[in-house]
């Protein structure tokens, strides 16, 4: 380190030392201000659209904004994606997290390969996953996921199921990372105590480690749900470009569920894109309404995560 000490305390240096921290505070304030601006702006612009009618009626393709209907099917689409995506991501994520933290030898070459693979997967943007879904799930063997295409040698490739599978792969590395951290943070004494009791390894994992890591594992799941609810690119490319459900007219009835999840649809994100000035719909008030709902979902999930983190910290201190 060069230039230590006081010899450089010219008036300019003194000026910098006074002004620079103020600018730094300004930058931090700017970040906070942008966050609040986005929430307040969406609330203010989306509020006129919010009504029971808006939430409970299906969207309609119309040029006049007052005739474009509500966002019932996009809300349904987001719920379907949340449920399917979570169900699909949790088993492989928990299994991988357990294997990485409890079974794998840390310094072997294949451990490094697995970690690199997960890290690279985490770096792939969602739009590339969307393209992957388009390539992979149009293979004829996947016809049962989305129905046949016009060309009978291909599958159609757009459906909630396809989108949920692609989404699960997309969020897998993020969920694994949080879960692995949670499992690793279980105190070593628990493992030693279990081993001293003669517990087989799997029983120890199931009965002691997983319950103790519960809040952390939950954090991983919630984080994944936030990613699912917020993604647009995978939905647009893999779930489809419609604003209503293409499966069955009464999509909410249990006997139509299979048709619904193998059919196309929209979520709140693709509906927002469609209704904004950038999409075909051009109904900005509706876009703001849907975006506001999205932000509410993100906020609720975030509050939940912060609460879980605080609880984890409290239990760590109690140990």
Partner 1 sequence: VNPVAGQATAPPSFVAKRSGARARGERLVEALLLLATVFSASAVIIVFVFVVRGAIPIVTTNGLSLFTTGGWDAQLRAAFNEGSWQFGILELIVGTALTTVGALVLTLVIGMAAALALVEYAPARISRPIESVVRLLAGFPSVVFGLVGIMAVSPWIEKVLITDKLMNDYLFISTGQCLLAAILVLTFMIMPFFVSVAVDSLRAVPNAYRLAGYALGMPKWRVATRLVMPSASAGILAGLVLAAARGVGEAVAMAMVSGANAHIPELSSGVFAFLEPVRTLAAGIIENGDASSNPAILSVMYACGSLILVVSVALSIASRFVSTAFQKRMRMMSERVS
Binding to partner 1 in span 285-304, by CB under 8 A: 287-288, 291, 294-295, 298-299, 301-302
- 16 lies in the site for partner 1, by CB under 8 A: yes
Residue of the chain from 68, 159, 212, 246 that contacts partner 1 (CB under 8 A)? 212
Instruction: Please select the residue that binds partner 1; options are 55, 83, 90, 208, rule is CB under 8 A.
Output: 208
Region 50-89 residues binding partner 1, contact defined as CB under 8 A:
none
Residues 6+ apart with CB under 8 A from 197: none
The residues near 217 (Cβ < 8 Å, ≥ 6 apart) are 94, 97, 179, 182, 183, 210
Other CB atoms closer than 10 Å to residue 132's CB: what's the count?
17
The answer to the question of residue 144 lying near partner 1 (CB under 8 A) is no
Q: CB of residue 76 vs partner 1: minimum separation in angstroms? A: 18
The tokens for 182 are 């949670």
For tokens 């995560």, what's the residue? 305
For the segment 100-139, give every residue that binds partner 1 (CB under 8 A).
100, 103-104, 113-132, 134-136
* CB nearer to partner 1: pick between 121 and 259: 121
Residue numbers 261-280 binding partner 1 by CB under 8 A: 269-270, 272-273, 276-278
Q: Residue 166 — φ and ψ, nearest 5°? A: -60, -45
> Nearest approach, Cβ of 193 to partner 1 (angstroms)?
7
Which residue carries 């794998």 as its tokens?
A: 104
- For partner 1, the closer of residues 34 and 60 by Cβ is 34
**219: buried, middle or exposed (CB in 10 Å: 19+, 13-18, 0-12)?**
buried
DSSP state of 106: T
* 6 lies in the site for partner 1, by CB under 8 A: yes
| Residue 59 DSSP label | B
């Amino acid at each position: 380190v060069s230039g230590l000490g006081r010899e450089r305390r010219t008036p300019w240096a003194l000026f910098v030392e006074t002004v620079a921290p103020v600018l730094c505070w300004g930058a931090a304030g700017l970040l906070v201000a942008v966050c609040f601006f986005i929430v307040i702006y969406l609330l203010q612009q989306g509020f006129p659209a919010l009504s029971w009618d808006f939430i409970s009626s299906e969207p309609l393709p119309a040029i006049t904004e007052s005739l474009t209907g509500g966002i019932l099917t996009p809300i349904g689409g987001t719920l379907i994606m949340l449920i399917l995506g979570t169900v699909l991501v949790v088993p492989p994520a928990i299994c991988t997290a357990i294997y990485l933290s409890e079974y794998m030898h840390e310094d072997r070459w294949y451990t490094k390969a697995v970690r690199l693979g997960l890290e690279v997967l985490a770096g792939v943007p969602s739009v590339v996953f969307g393209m992957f879904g388009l390539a992979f799930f149009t293979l004829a063997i996947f016809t049962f996921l989305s129905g046949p295409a016009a060309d009978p040698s291909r599958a159609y490739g757009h459906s909630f199921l396809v989108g949920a599978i692609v989404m699960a792969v997309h969020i897998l590395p993020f969920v694994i990372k949080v879960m692995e951290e949670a499992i690793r943070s279980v105190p070593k004494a628990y493992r030693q105590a279990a081993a001293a009791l003669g517990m087989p390894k799997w029983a120890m994992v199931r009965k002691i480690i997983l319950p103790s890591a519960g809040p952390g594992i939950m954090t991983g799941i919630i984080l994944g749900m936030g990613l699912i609810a917020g993604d647009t690119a995978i939905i647009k490319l893999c779930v489809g470009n419609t604003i209503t459900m293409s499966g069955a007219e009464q999509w909410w009835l249990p006997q139509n569920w299979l048709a619904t999840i193998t059919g196309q649809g929209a979520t709140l994100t693709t509906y927002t894109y469609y209704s904004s000035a950038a999409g075909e719909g051009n109904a900005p008030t509706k876009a703001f309404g849907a975006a506001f709902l999205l932000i509410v979902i993100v906020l609720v999930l975030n509050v939940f995560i912060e609460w879980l983190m605080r609880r984890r910290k409290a239990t760590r201190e109690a140990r």
